[in-house]
Structure 1
Amino acid sequence: MSYALGYALLRQVSWSHWELFTGYRLSVLLLVPYRYWPALVVGELGPVAYASLSCVETFGWLWASLMLVPPIALAMPVVKVCRDRLNIVPDRGPVHMGVLLVCTLVVSGLWTLANVIVLLTANVPSGSAPINYSVVASRWFIGSYLGILTLVPLVLMVWEGRPKRAELWLHTVERALRGRLGVETAAFVLPALALLVWIALDASGDGSRQMARMLMFLPVIWLALRHGLLGAVVGGAIASIAVAVTMPGLYDTSTLQAEVFVAFATTSMLLFGDRIAQLHRQKGQGAGHEDKSLDLARRIQAQCEAQLRQTSLGIEQASEAVHATDELLFERQLRPAADSRELRRRATAAREQLFQLADGLHPVALRERGLVAALRHGGIARTLNTRRIGYWCNTRGGVNQLSDTLQLAIHRLVCEGVSYLCTTHSIGDLTVHLRSGRSAGRRWAVVRIDALFSTDSDLRVRGSFLLHRLAASGLGLDVIRDRAALHEGKVRVHATEHGECISVMVYEPDPQPVRAVERVVPEKRTTLELLN
């Protein structure tokens, strides 16, 4: 009923060269869910049936029967293809203006063809002038096309910028009216079009009237240059209304020519404005990428600072152990009978702490034997063994063919993942799966950390034990995601049947922009030079 009411009202303000109800029809098809489409067919059937039955005695039953077919049903397959396949009105993002214009051309041509076929079946009254089907078809096509251009882009722009809550509509309208587009339209465009309309209505000759109509496309160009797509939409709607107002007769040929010109100008400006909007979005996305890169760099800096803090705490603990050993040495010098085994134990513990600290900063096994050996027998394995947590690493593919930078990054990711799992859950068994391959000329690696939960609460690591020994920052999953983002990676965390799994995929950096840092080799010096 709502659709039938709107359809009937817009037919009262539509003419042969300007059919606003076609724009209303296409707008509803583009925005209404599919489950309401049968109701739209029923709603349009009412006005169409009234027109058909009113003229059945004049044009015949065959014409009246074909008129009972609602035109909205003819356009439904075209609109469905545009919505499903071409994504004309996406859920997020701007309307695809090129697809909209193609859809407008197709449905306008389809409705024109249907009207011509129906007209061919009509009984022409005797004594009537012969029908010029080319002129009639042109009038119907331009009327449908311009009616759609007047209403549909404007409706879609309003739909795209609609507020999320109903109470914000008033603020949205107020902001739009106070914006630059609203002010410039009210201050410059409307007065200019009003002057051109007055000239066209008051002109004595067809040449002056036609010139005034032709000049009505200038505000469309000006608004499109100033405000892009939104300016072209608003300017095109106002210009088409102004041209329709100046139509002196119902079937005026000069008005049809002016409307063809305005339709061409509006179409061009819509495409031009859409391109300007795309360039603005690309520029905004570029700025957005810069902001994201800056945020990522700041987070990485904070993570490095946290890692340095953990390293500093480890150095303090090692310093305390060395200090305790020195005190015991001093006591042994005073009392030679002191236990030497306690001295040896403390010296070994201090040496082990310093080794763990150095190994956490840059694993020794990684430098000497590669990533696989570092993961299987390095600091992670030794640390988890001291906590009675089962651990193993499975590898597949050319893992050792990865660059040194990516191998170190994968080792850091595993350390952060192990630290996160062991400090948030009671882990009984932990397995690292590492796989590598090559695609499109770049090597990639997938790391999966499978944790098996345990009911023994003593297995949960508390405090900074793991953080010191693995040189982990202890900031959780955010660190893993940021480190993976540095290598174009993605992180996925999901629960398994008996635990939790962290999956990370990273890529080898592009060899072109990355410049290798040369390793500094210490210069060999003679004993005499060292003494000097």
Structure 2
Amino acid sequence: MAKVSLRSGWPAHVGVAVGYALLYLAVHPITTLNWPIHAGIRFACLLLFPYRFWPALLVGEALPNLYEVLPCLDSLGRNWVMVRSIPALVPIMPIVWWCREKMPPFPAKRLVDIKALIVCIVLCSVGGMLYSTLAYAMCRPFLAADADSVPLASIQFLLGPYVVILSVVPWLVMAKLDYRPGHFREQLRQTLSSKLFMDTIALLLPSIAILACLRTVVKDPFDQIASLAMFLPMAWLTLKHGWRAAAVSGTIAILCICLPLDVSDKLQTRAYESMVFVVIGVTCLFVLGARISAQLLQEEKERRSAMNVQRLARQTMQMGEQRMRQTSQALEYLAGTLHVTNSRLLEQMRRIVPNIESHAFYKQAMAAQTQIYQLAESMHPLTWRERGLPAALNDTVARALDEAGIAYRCEITGRGFTRLASPVLTVTYRAACEAITYVTSRLACSRVRLVLRGGETQGRRWVVIRVEGVLEDTGVANAVYFAEERKRLGTKLGASGLDISEMRDNVGIFDGALHLRSFKDRLRITALLHDASQEQEAQRAASHSAAPLRLWVK
């Protein structure tokens, strides 16, 4: 056990001892054989308090324990008083210490290992049972002849504390995991608006209340069926929300089934059956909830990892687009400079060579200048930069298709284009160019129709692209005539010649989808993209608000 300093912070130790003693005395009147609530308080204090406060807890239990035990010297005997004078905290302390050191229930600040917690609860319940059984064996000669035997009483001493610990400790664990100083109102608001709270109020409480009332009205064996039916909504809630749902529903089931049992010193057989049934059912729900929570945590990690990959892909795509735009502007500046230089040079050469326009040097210079302009236009159209996406789709794309001998029609409808994020507009243009390049790769494609529609649904902006190529056998001859221009169409549009799977991956970066449909006389590509900036802001806000609640289960 870690070294404990008793000299430092002695007021805190005194406060812990006094507070624990008062709490022990307060719960003693409501403690029964099947509901020993002090067992849950004892276990929770040892589990959550630092080691340095354990001596204070021991003192806080020893004094009220002696106050309650000494008056029973004449009625229960000296041996029982000697055993019961030892606080029940003593046999539990080494068990909790071993669990905290060897298989800690709290491996990290906001992480709880439910399996380790269940094992610790079972071991502490067994330790408490041995302690109580020994004390009961000491006083057995002083009891009536019809009193429970020692083995039968040991079952009571095991089930009662286990049920109480199982119903009290998870709530304290949840409070430990969720507590953030100075954010009580915010946490309370999040709890009341959580799906677990709403499902508990709307489904769990009404169903268990109805079944509990039915259990008290009907006779055997239908009351056992009603008890069994209580676990159906509990299991559904656990499958949906994990171990926290098991903690909430398990406590409610324990209160409805165990508290109404006979609280006399001698429990009946049916009471034993009910308690065993509750213990097994709630424990299984906790184990199942731990597995479900682990799966939910893994899914959350995978989702966040996918979000990070998406964000990185968007940033990479946007940075590449910015480089292309800068390169296009640099090429345009170079072409302009080359044009001015060539003009001055040609003016000087005209004095020497009158017909310089027909010379090969002049043609090569003009061709080089034109190629630079075309390269700059293919990388990032000037129309796009100056007049936006609709102008680029109507002018730049139309001019490239017209030069290739393909009829083109562009329809832009909807609203919200001006509010779309820049990366979305970029991917929209590139996806349209890739889709046009793909459908025009068919020789029979003679006409292309592009439909662009933007909109907003429940505050979420989106854009739909539909590229449809009309396939006509009569257009093959025209395609052969413009074969060279059709080959250069992808270069003019700045397309990379992606296939359908690659285009679908690009669209998927923005939570979109792409579909290809082939008809007898046409080929259609449809793509849907969402505004990534809005999604990132919403997800960032949700992850920030849920940050302290993420790591619950190992």
TM-score when normalising by structure 1:
0.54
Mapped pair 1:13 → 2:27: no
Relative contact order (C-alpha < 8 Å, sep 6+): which is higher?
Answer: 2
3-state SS in 2 of match to 1:69: coil
SS at match of 2:141: coil
Q: Which residue of 1 aligns with 2:267?
A: 252
Q: 1:110 corresponds to which residue?
A: 127
Contact 1:22 1:148 in 2 (8 A): yes
Deviations 1:450-471 (A, max 9, x none): xxxxxxxxxxxxxxxxxxxxxx
The 3 A distance-change label for structure 1 pair 194 and 158 is farther
- Contact 1:60/1:123, CA 8 A, preserved across alignment: no
**Within the alignment, does 1:287 sit opposite 2:306 as a pair?**
no
Give the Å deviation of 1:138.
Answer: 0.9
Give yes or no for the alignment of 1:40 onto 2:57.
yes
CA distance in 2, matches of 1:270, 1:4: 31
Give yes or no for the alignment of 1:191 onto 2:210: yes
Shift of 1:170: 4.5
Deviations 1:293-318 (A, max 9, x none): 11010111222234345545665676
Distance 1:83 1:335, change over 3 A: farther
Out of 230-239 and 103-112, give the one that drifted further: 230-239
Q: Distance in 2 between matches of 1:124 and 1:136?
A: 14
Unaligned 5+ runs, structure 2: 1-17, 353-554
Could you tell me how far apart the structure 2 residues matched to 1:207 and 1:334 are?
114
Match of 1:266 among 282, 287, 292: 282
Who is 2:551 aligned against? Answer: none
Matches within 5 A, 1:328-477: none
- Please report how far the alpha carbon of residue 233 of structure 1 lies from its aligned counterpart in structure 2 after TM superposition: 1.9
Bigger mean CA deviation after superposition, 68-77 or 263-272: 68-77
Distance 2:170 2:261 in 1: 23
Sort the Cα spacing of 1:187 and 1:207 in 2 relative to 1 into closer, same or farther, 3 A: closer
Distance 2:144 2:283 in 1: 41
Task: Report the number of matched residues.
Answer: 336
Does structure 2 conserve the Cα–Cα contact (< 8 Å) formed by 1:219 and 1:239? no
State the alpha-carbon separation in 2 of the partners of residues 25 and 197 from structure 1: 32
Q: Relative to structure 2, which stretch is displaced further, 12-21 or 308-317?
A: 308-317
1:35 to 1:182, Cα distance in 2 relative to 1, 3 A:
farther
**Cα distance change on mapping 1:74 and 1:335 into 2, 3 Å:** farther
Residues 93 and 27 (structure 1 numbering): CA distance in 2 closer, same or farther, change over 3 Å? Answer: same
* Equivalent residue for 1:179, pick from 191, 194, 198: 198
Name the aligned partner's letter for residue 292 of structure 2.
I
Correspondence for 2:88: 71
8 A Cα contact 1:221 1:269, kept in partner = yes
Once the two structures are TM-superposed, the CA of residue 332 in structure 1 deviates from its matched residue by 7.7
Structure 1 residue 128: Cα displacement: 5.0
Residue 314 of structure 2 aligns with which residue?
A: 298
Whether the 8 Å contact between 1:41 and 1:72 is mirrored in structure 2 is yes
Q: Which moved more, 1:180-189 or 1:217-226?
A: 217-226
Structure 1 residue 243, shift from structure 2 partner: 1.9
Select which of 3, 18, 23 maps to 2:40: 23
> 1:214: how far off?
5.1
Paired residue secondary structure (1:89): coil
Offset of residue 169 of structure 1: 5.2
Q: Which residue matches 1:449?
A: none
- For 1:256-286, what per-residue CA distance to the aligned partner results, in whole angstroms no more than 9, with x for missing partners? 1210011111111121222222223333332
Q: Name which of 232, 241, 246 aligns with 2:246.
A: 232
Range that drifts further, 139-148 or 149-158? 149-158
Equivalent position of 1:350 in the other structure: none
Contact 2:203 2:233 in 1 (8 A): no
Change (3 A) 1:320 1:65: farther
> Identity, % of aligned pairs?
27
Aligned to 1:427: none
SS at the partner of 2:281?
helix
Cα distance, 1:126–1:256 mapped onto 2, change above 3 Å:
closer
Cα deviation per residue 1:203-250 (whole Å; 9 max; x = unaligned)? Answer: 5xx656655555554453344345443332222211211222332351
RMSD: 3.8
Could you list the runs of 5+ residues in structure 1 that have no partner in the other structure? 337-532
Q: Deviations over 1:156-179 (max 9, x none)?
A: 234434465133354245436961
Output the CA distance in 2 between the equivalents of 1:150 and 1:190: 18
Amino acid at match of 1:281: L
The answer to whether structure 1 residue 307 and structure 2 residue 332 are counterparts is: no
